[in-house]
Amino acid sequence: MIFSRLFPFSIHIVKGHSMQPSINESDRVVVFNWAYLFSQPKSGDVVVFRGSDGRGYVKRIAAVTEKGEFLVEGDNKGDSRKLPPVRRSAIIGRVVGKY
């Protein structure tokens, strides 16, 4: 996944239900890996990032902390649990489409 940033776009298969109804399990999401080259992620953006366990996650940015880290959450509040704040460097790119 770290090499994703070399290419402007990457495709990912979604596993899990926490982004329903926006993104369903097994949906493919298209990620623009260069979305934040010249701008900062902002609240409301759906992003793919590398979790502390090294795996890729797809979530929506809920807020930016005073330290400049990003609080993320799923759209499906019933299935979305707490995640630690995400650092800017862990964000791979912004989801720009799905199919």
Partner 1 sequence: MSMKKLTGLFAAAMKKIEAVAKPTLVYAHCDVPCGIYEANTMTMAADTVNKMVEKIVELKAPGADPQQHRDFTNTVVRMTLTKEEWAQKCKQELLILWTDYFKDEHLAKFPDLHAKVWKATKLCSQAKRTVDLNVARQLKEAVAEIARIFAETKK
Q: How far is CA 68 from CA 1, 19, 47, in A?
A: 23, 23, 16
Binding residues among 15-74 for partner 1 as defined by CB under 8 A: 15-19, 23, 25, 28-29, 48, 51-53, 55-59, 62-63, 65-66, 71, 74
Toward partner 1, which CB reaches closer, 38 or 99?
99
d(CA 99, CA 85): 28
Q: What are the residues facing 82 on neighbouring strands?
A: none
Toward partner 1, which CB reaches closer, 40 or 43?
43
In 3D space, the residue among 31, 17, 4, 2 whose CA is nearest the CA of residue 98 turns out to be 31
Which residues contact partner 1 by CB under 8 A? 1, 4, 7, 9-19, 23, 25, 28-29, 48, 51-53, 55-59, 62-63, 65-66, 71, 74, 79-85, 99
